[in-house]
Chains A and B, each alone.
Chain A
Amino acid sequence: MSNAGRSANSPGTNRSGHTPLKRGRLRWGEKVFETLLMLAAASSVLITVGIVAVLIVESMAFFEDASLREFLTGATWAPGFDPPAFGIRSLVSGTLVTTTVALFVAIPVGTIVAVWLSEYAKPKVRETVKPALELLSAIPTVVFGYFALLFVTPALQWLFARFGFSLPGFNMLSAGLVMGVMIVPYIASLSEDAMRSVPTALREGALAMGATKFQTAMKVVFPAALSGITAAYILGISRALGETMIVAIAAGQEAKFTFDPTEQAQTITAFIVQISGGDLPHESTGYRSIFAAGLTLMIMTLAFNVGGFLLRRRYKETY
């Protein structure tokens, strides 16, 4: 029955004598609810806009006082000094060194554990080990920081001393190593998911051709899952770049342009924590520099993610 036909009838009854549904009122509630849900979903976009806006607006205010050229090319980072120096290079080097050390641990260990879980381990072992590993990534990072500073560093110092070297109390090596172990579960878990979603027929094909399990894993499954594995690596890199508390506690608080992991140096994140901890007054250029540092970190993370996306698209295999 068309709407026009119904409105022509007397209200309350239709031709067959039944009371029609009050469709208008019901629909109104539905509409309100749907709008509410949509607003909730759209709020996530607002958050992103907020993050980007804050970083850009505050960084612009920063660059009114500090020169962009010095920021990009200067060799020292000393926002609390007079005159202050803003050469982001010193913070970027610290960030890159700790990240590299972490990845040297996390990528090999994470990948091997993932291959083992997906291709070798019995289902029962896998169902136990995987959640247990995820527990490792649930530990708060400040606890990892404690572990790096007060357990790993003394242990490394003892080890270094036996070979006649010395290691300072704050160093990027122990921060990076602990960070690497922290990232292993992310890489292992995601890579394992990717490898397990490779069709079994591919494995069976390889095994039927006489390949060993190892050859199947390395020459068939791994390449087929490379897209997902790359995504796992990229996530690991993002985690390492943005990790804060471990490096703030164990890597040192003094910005230094160095690529030697046995030295102390400050990362971008550790610098932000140090300044927010209350060293500089609010309206100062030094204080605003945390936003410029944050923007730099954001751009680095984004660059790795875009690079990873392009790589993934290249390796993408569909079945």
Chain B
Amino acid sequence: MDLTPIQKRLLIRRKRADRVFVVLGAALAAFCLSVLVIMIAALIRDGASRFGWSFLTQFPSSDPPLAGAKSAFVGTILVMVVTAATAIPLGIMAGIFLEEYARKNWFTAIIEINIANLAGVPSIIWGLMALGLLVYHFGTGRSILTAGLTLGLLVLPIVIVATREAIRAIPQAIREASYACGATRLQTVRYHIVPYAMPGVLTGCIIAMSRAIGETAPLVTIGALTYVAYLPPAPLTDRPWLLGTLSELTFSEEDRTKPFGSASSPIGGLPTPAGQIEFDVRPDATGPSARTVVSVAASETLTPAALAQAIDDVPGVLTRFDDDGHLRIESELEEWFLISKDSTGLIDAMGMQRGGGKHGPLDWVTSGFTVVPIQMYDWVSRAEGLGFKPNAAAAGILLVTMTLAMNASAIYLRNRLRRSIRW
């Protein structure tokens, strides 16, 4: 067919949009992917010098070349354990209920709408919920437990949706065959639905965990610490060591300068304390100990602040009042200590753990903590002036490695599944 020049020009013009779009779409997709690459390259450029084995085996420090992410890395793993223990069973059970059991009624409708909406709640709101409900109302404190529960609930919708999709992909014939063989509903779920859905569920769980690992905002909100120079207590280890021990009583600014004996002090009414507090300080958990004695003279004017100062003078031991007014006695980096004797009665009166025995299997759950993203946030905020940029970047490398590895394995798993399953 012969075209007039005008027709030809029109045809070319019409096709031009197509050609532009092919290039534009590919260019923009490439741009987004290049941001990913540049971001990782920037992290490696800034952080390669700090990243390495020592980064994972050193506690944080005020000296950037020595500051590592040991406590943050361990904290992340422990928080993830609690998160997985919350989100995975709860999510799978809820998913099974909605797909296999739920009848079409208002109750199911509410749950479904609710789950869809929960997935859209900003993560910082979860932090506020955890702060108001868990930390203050249920008193779980700023602990690994609180953090794990918060993140577990946050990623719950992801697990539920993944479970439902995996179950929905199972053909109805499988269920009918199972029922036809005389299986009950529970047996069908147990022996057919769950096993067949498992790979899909697993993919969803990995994605959920990788999302939880990177979450920072809710954990900042519940008050995760930024400087943690100890590890949570391992189960069944000896417990004489008062690392980061905390008084049950709180001392306001005023109380700290009031004598212990005075009626308005938090431990008012105590006879004027006098005696000795003995500390066994060791360079590490198994090394030889050195005994240091703090003498408390019978004095009408001994105040919590003065006592804290006296204990603070013991080498290897630090004291401070935290934001809530609790007196904290902590060990310096790598030092361990034990209050072996207290004839003053003050330590007991303040409700401090005296130690002894073994840690319970779940003691670590109530420990204070930090996680890698929070450690990174802390370092980023001190990047320029104080030279923590390499540390921040190294923490970034660690985080990106963990999340990308998890996501890549999830994608791999998903693709393999698609190929291997033929109903």
Closest residue on chain A to residue B45 by CB atoms: A151
- B28's partner among A113, A241, A276 (CB-CB below 8 A) is A113
Query: Is B124 interfacial (CB-CB < 8 Å)?
Result: yes
- List the B side residues contacting A109 at CB < 8 Å: 28, 31-32
**How far is it, in angstroms, between the C-alpha of A146 and the C-alpha of B115 when the chains are bound?**
32
**How far is it, in angstroms, between the C-alpha of A191 and the C-alpha of B38 when the chains are bound?**
26
Docked-complex contact B403 and A138, CB < 8 angstroms: yes
Most buried by B among A30, A33, A37, A184: A37
- List the B side residues contacting A136 at CB < 8 Å: 32-33, 35-36
Closest residue on chain A to residue B26 by CB atoms: A116
**How far is it, in angstroms, between the C-alpha of A245 and the C-alpha of B91 when the chains are bound?**
27
Docked-complex contact A276 and B222, CB < 8 angstroms: yes
Query: Is B256 interfacial (CB-CB < 8 Å)?
Result: no
Majority secondary structure of chain B interface residues (helix, strand, loop or mixed): helix
Given A48-B117, A54-B132, A40:B97 Cβ within 8 A? yes
Given A109-B32, A212-B15, A273-B124, A120:B216 Cβ within 8 A? no
Shortest CB distance A135–B (Å):
6
Number of A-B contacts (CB under 8 A): 263
Flag A13-34 by CB within 8 Å of B: 1 or 0 each: 0000000000000100110011
Flag A263-276 by CB within 8 Å of B: 1 or 0 each: 00000010011001
Closest residue on chain B to residue A281 by CB atoms: B323
Query: Is A129 interfacial (CB-CB < 8 Å)?
Result: yes
Shortest CB distance A56–B (Å):
10
- A38's partner among B97, B131, B389 (CB-CB below 8 A) is B97
Query: Is B129 interfacial (CB-CB < 8 Å)?
Result: yes
**How far is it, in angstroms, between the C-alpha of A34 and the C-alpha of B323 when the chains are bound?**
46
- Give the contacts of B357-406 with A (CB-CB under 8 A): 373, 376-377, 380-381, 383-384, 389, 392-393, 396, 399-400, 403-404, 406
Query: Is A301 interfacial (CB-CB < 8 Å)?
Result: yes
Docked-complex contact B39 and A143, CB < 8 angstroms: yes
- Give the contacts of A189-222 with B (CB-CB under 8 A): 212-215, 217
Docked-complex contact A242 and B25, CB < 8 angstroms: no
**How far is it, in angstroms, between the C-alpha of A149 and the C-alpha of B123 when the chains are bound?**
21
Given A138-B210, A145-B380, A305-B120, A185:B32 Cβ within 8 A? yes
- List the A side residues contacting B180 at CB < 8 Å: none
- B25's partner among A29, A117, A291 (CB-CB below 8 A) is A117
Shortest CB distance B199–A (Å):
17
- List the A side residues contacting B399 at CB < 8 Å: 140, 142-143
Docked-complex contact B156 and A47, CB < 8 angstroms: yes
- B377's partner among A43, A53, A115, A245 (CB-CB below 8 A) is A245
Docked-complex contact B123 and A244, CB < 8 angstroms: yes
Shortest CB distance B22–A (Å):
5
Docked-complex contact B376 and A47, CB < 8 angstroms: no
Docked-complex contact B214 and A55, CB < 8 angstroms: no
Docked-complex contact B404 and A120, CB < 8 angstroms: no
Docked-complex contact A140 and B373, CB < 8 angstroms: yes
Flag B220-231 by CB within 8 Å of A: 1 or 0 each: 111100000000
Given A30-B184, A214-B21, A297-B125, A140:B403 Cβ within 8 A? yes
Docked-complex contact A41 and B14, CB < 8 angstroms: no
**How far is it, in angstroms, between the C-alpha of A129 and the C-alpha of B373 when the chains are bound?**
27
- List the B side residues contacting A269 at CB < 8 Å: 122, 124, 217
Flag B128-166 by CB within 8 Å of A: 1 or 0 each: 110111000000000000000000010011001000000
Docked-complex contact A48 and B383, CB < 8 angstroms: no
Docked-complex contact B39 and A244, CB < 8 angstroms: no
- List the A side residues contacting B43 at CB < 8 Å: 143, 146
- B396's partner among A43, A116, A143 (CB-CB below 8 A) is A143
Docked-complex contact A249 and B377, CB < 8 angstroms: yes
Query: Is B261 interfacial (CB-CB < 8 Å)?
Result: no
Query: Is B46 interfacial (CB-CB < 8 Å)?
Result: yes
Given A113-B29, A244-B216, A272:B111 Cβ within 8 A? no
Shortest CB distance A108–B (Å):
8
Query: Is A83 interfacial (CB-CB < 8 Å)?
Result: no
Docked-complex contact B25 and A115, CB < 8 angstroms: yes
- List the B side residues contacting A139 at CB < 8 Å: 36, 39, 214, 400, 403-404
Given A40-B94, A301-B121, 11 more pairs with CB closer than 8 A: A33-B186, A54-B132, A55-B125, A120-B22, A138-B404, A143-B376, A144-B39, A146-B383, A150-B380, A213-B21, A272-B128
> Please, could you name 9 A-B residue pairs with CB atoms under 8 Å apart, sorted by A?
A44-B94, A47-B129, A51-B129, A112-B21, A136-B33, A139-B404, A140-B373, A181-B35, A249-B381
Closest A-B pairs by Cβ, 6 of them? A116-B25, A242-B122, A140-B214, A54-B132, A40-B93, A37-B97
Residues of A within 8 A of B (CB): 26, 29-30, 33-34, 36-38, 40-45, 47-48, 50-51, 53-55, 57-58, 109, 112-113, 115-117, 120-121, 129, 131-136, 138-147, 149-151, 169, 181, 184-185, 188, 212-215, 217, 235, 238, 241-245, 248-249, 269, 272-273, 276-278, 281-282, 290-291, 294, 297-298, 301, 305
